[in-house]
Homo-oligomer: A and B are copies of this chain.
Amino acid sequence: MAGLFAALADPTRLRLLNLIGGREVCVCYFVEILRQGQPKISRHLAYLRRAGLVTARREGKWMHYRMVPQADEAAASILAAALAALKNDRQMEADRAKLDRACCAPQKLVMPEGAPRPAPVASLVES
């Protein structure tokens, strides 16, 4: 219980969860959108993984992260409340908007057909 809140008690992790919420997202987008060092992103993703909040799937060179459906009902409701709260935050909105128009450019500005596009996760699409 306290561990769940600890996982949520960091601005970077909240931004990551906000982006992951509902869809599967490639790490390169996190780095691009948050504009933070790659090791930092990776470290926080590892934290979220250890906390059982997200899981990763490898696809070639890319790693895709998605939410883990919470078995514990209490954890699920808290996580839902947290994600809902992020919905109205200015920066979180901006982050999501950037992800929506993300077009495969982690490093170079144009990198045709390079990075995989974020894909929706059926079990988490609610709107």
Contacts and interface: CB of A to CB of B under 8 A. Distances in A.
A110 interface: no
Contact of A9 (B5, B80, B85, B88): B5
A105 interface: no
Contacts of A82: 5, 78
A55 to B, nearest CB: 21
A124 to B, nearest CB: 18
Contacts of A10: 2
Contacts of A86: 1, 74
A75 interface: yes
A14 interface: yes
6 contacts: A1-B86, A2-B9, A5-B6, A5-B82, A74-B88, A78-B78
